[in-house]
Structure 1
Amino acid sequence: MTSPSPPPNAHPYLRAANTGVRHHTRALTPSDAASSPAADRQHLDVLHAHLAALLHLLDRLAESTRPPHPAAGRHLATAHTRLWQATSDVHNAFHMLPADTAADAETSACRPDRLPEGPPVLTICQRHLAAGHVVRRKTTPSDLRPHTTACVR
C-alpha cells in the first residue's frame, strides 16, 4: 500500500532539500567503494546545517501536531530527540577530523566565550549550541543519552 503522492506545490522547499541530499549522495557514491572520498569538515558542516534545519522543522511539526493528535505528536517528539542525537554526533565527528590549516587547528575547539566573534570554523559550534539550547528546553535529561555541548577535541 502506498501513500498518495502530494500535490506538486506541497512543501516545495523540503522537496528541493531532499533532491539536493539525494543528488549529493549519488555524487559521493562512486562505482568503486575503495575510491569513495572521506568526509571532510566542509561536508560535515553543511550536513550539520541541514540536520539543524530539520530539527527546527520537526520541532514545529511536533508542536502543532501534539494538541489535535497527541500520539502522533509524541512520535514526532521522539524523532526530534533522535535527530538531535544524530546532529550531535555529526558535530563531534567534525571536531575529530583534521583541520585544513594550522590556524583552523588552533581555533577549532569550542570556546563559548569566543563564539560570537570567532572564526568561521566555529559556525558549526554556534549552530550546535543554539540547537542544543532548544532541545534541552523541550526534552528531559532521561530522554537524551549522556551528552555535553563541549567539543571533544
Structure 2
Amino acid sequence: MTSRTPPHDAHPYLRAASAGLRHHTRALAPPDANPPWPADRLHLDLLHAHLTALLQFLDRLAENTRPSHPAAGRHLATVHTRLWQAATEIHSAFHLLPSNTAAGDEASACHPERLPEGPPVQTICQRHLAAGHVVRRKTTPTDLRPHTTACVR
C-alpha cells in the first residue's frame, strides 16, 4: 500500500528524508534500552552523508534565492556555513570512535585513498574533502570560525 504524493507537493523527497531522520532518532534509543546506545562509525558516516547532501541542497537554494532576495540568500549562505561546521565535527567524531578492525589507530587515521569498513562507494574522508573544497571556494576563513549567536527574537 503506497500513498501518492499530491500534485502540488514539490518537496516529497525532502519530507521523506526528514521523516527518516525522525524515525531513526526514535529507533536509536528505545525507551527500555539500558544504557542508551552510543554512536558508532556507521551511524556517523551515514549522518555525514546526509549533511553533505544537505550542504549541496542549501548551496543551490542560496544561489537561486540570492538574486531576487539578497538578504534571504545571505541567511541561507550562513546556514550552509554552519552546516559545514557540523559536518566537520561529525567527521572528527568519526575518527575518534574505535574502529571495527584490529588495526586500531591506523584505521582511525584519515586516509581518503583507502576504504574503511564503511560503504564501498565513497568514504567519509573522500566525501568530506570534496565538500570542503566547495565550501572553501565560497567562504572565507573568517566565515568558518566558530559561531556564537545572540538571538534577539
What is the distance in 1 between the residues matched to 2:34 and 2:19?
A: 26
* Residues 95 and 110 in structure 2, CA contact (< 8 A), matched pair in contact too: no
Superposed counterparts of 1:107-122, under 5 Å: 107-111=107-111, 115-116=112-113, 118-121=114-117
Shift of 1:32: 4.9
What is the distance in 1 between the residues matched to 2:101 and 2:67?
A: 50
Identity of aligned residues (%): 72
Indicate whether 1:99 and 2:99 are aligned. yes
Task: Choose between structure 1 and 2: higher helix proportion.
Answer: 1
Letter in 2 for 1:88: T
Which residue pairs with 1:83 in the alignment? Answer: 83
What is the distance in 1 between the residues matched to 2:15 and 2:33?
A: 28
Shift of 1:28: 1.5
Distance of aligned partners of 1:18 and 1:73 in 2 relative to their CA distance in 1, 3 Å threshold: same
Which residue pairs with 1:150 in the alignment? Answer: none
What is the distance in 2 between the residues matched to 1:54 and 1:104?
A: 31
5+ residue gaps, structure 2, are 1-5, 147-153
Q: Deviations over 1:21-68 (max 9, x none)?
A: 000001013225752100000000000000000000000000000000
Which residue pairs with 1:13 in the alignment? Answer: 13
What is the distance in 1 between the residues matched to 2:18 and 2:93?
A: 23
State the 4+ residue runs in structure 1 displaced beyond 4 angstroms. none
* Residues 58 and 80 in structure 2, CA contact (< 8 A), matched pair in contact too: yes
TM-score, normalised to structure 2, is 0.81
* Residues 107 and 119 in structure 1, CA contact (< 8 A), matched pair in contact too: no
Q: The residue matched to 2:19 in structure 1 has which SS?
A: helix
